[in-house]
Amino acid sequence: MNASSRDKVMCVQEYKNNSEEGRSYVAVIGDIKGSRKLSDRAACQLKLKKVLNGINEMYAEAIASKLTITIGDEFQGLFADGAPVLDVLTQIAFEMQPVEFRFGIGIGPIFTDINPQVSVGADGPAYHRARSAVDAVKNTEGRNRSAPSSLLVFSDSPADLYVNASLKLLHALADAWSNRQKEIIYDILIHRDSQVNVAARHGITQPTVQKILSSGRYYSFQDSYDAIVHYLSEVKSIDI
C-alpha cells in the first residue's frame, strides 16, 4: 500500500471513529448577498471582522474554530456546541444591517485537524453540508423575488425536512417586518430580557414594544425559533 492509499484509509478510519463516537460539529458558512455591488466593500469587510471578533469572544466556550473571513464576502466557523448557533447568526444579521447574508449550517463529523484560531483547512461532512446549504439558498433566489429562506440546515437526519420548513416560515414572517420591527425583535431575541429593558434601550415605552411584537407575530416566531435552537443544542462534541 502506497503513502497516498494509507492516508486515505486513515482519513476514512478517523471519519468512522468520529461517527461512532458521535463527535459531530456544527459548521457555519455565511455569504454576503450582492457583495460586489456594495458601495464600500472594504468598510463592510472591516465591520464584519469586528462583529466576528465579538462573537468569537462572547461564545468562546462553544466554538471549536473561530469564525473567520475566508474570502472577501464570506466567513466560516465551527462549533463544538450547537446551542448558540442560531443566536449567533441572528446577531450577525442584526449587527450587519442593511447588508444581507445567506447562511448555511452543516452538522456532522470533522476528520482533519481543527485549528481553534482560524477556520481554514479543516475538512469533513460538517463543512461539506454547510457549503451545500449555502448553495441551496443561492439556487432558490430568483431575479424578481427573494429566496424562501436565507438559512438552511443540512445533516444526515430526516429532521432536516422539518427544521428547514420551520426556517422558511420564520423567513416569511421576518421578511414582512418593517425596519423598526426588525430592530426591536432582533433586540429581544439577542438579549432575551424584559420588554421594559428593550423599551429603555430604544427610548420607547413598554406598551409600544408589546404592540411591535404583537404586530410582528413575534410569539409565533419565537416558538419555532426556540424549537430550532433546541434541535441544534443536541449537537455537542465536548463535555459540558
Cell matching residue 168: 422558511
Q: Which residues pair with 236 in a beta bridge?
A: 81
Cell matching residue 176: 414582512
With vertex at residue 230, the alpha carbon angle to CA 192 and CA 210, rounded to the nearest 5 degrees, is 30
Distance CA 27, CA 65 (A): 9
Contact in structure between 28 and 84 (CB atoms under 8 Å): no
What is the Cα 48 distance to its own chain's centre?
14
Quote the pLDDT of residue 123. Answer: 92
Quote the pLDDT of residue 172. Answer: 94
Quote the pLDDT of residue 4. Answer: 43
Where exactly are the structural domains of the chain?
Answer: 3-157
Ordered mean pLDDT values, 10 residues apiece, the chain (240 residues): 43 42 87 85 91 97 96 92 96 92 97 93 94 94 74 96 95 93 93 94 96 96 95 77
Contact in structure between 232 and 85 (CB atoms under 8 Å): yes
Burial 113-142, CB ≥16 within 10 A → b, else e: ebeeeebeebebbbbebbbbbbbbbeebee
Distance CA 59, CA 81 (A): 10
Contact in structure between 129 and 123 (CB atoms under 8 Å): no
Q: Which residues pair with 102 in a beta bridge?
A: 31
How many residues make up the chain in this entry?
Answer: 240
| DSSP assignment letter at 117 | S
Quote the pLDDT of residue 232. Answer: 96
Q: Which fold has domain 3-157?
A: Alpha-Beta Plaits (3.30.70)
DSSP state letters, 128-193: HHHHHHHHHHHHT-BTTB--S-SEEEE-SSTTHHHHHHHHHHHHHHHHT--HHHHHHHHHHHHH--
Candidates 95, 101, 100; CA nearest to 191 is 95
Question: If residue 3 lies in a helix (H) or strand (E), which one and from where to where?
Answer: helix 3-20
Contact in structure between 125 and 157 (CB atoms under 8 Å): no
* pTM of structure: 0.86
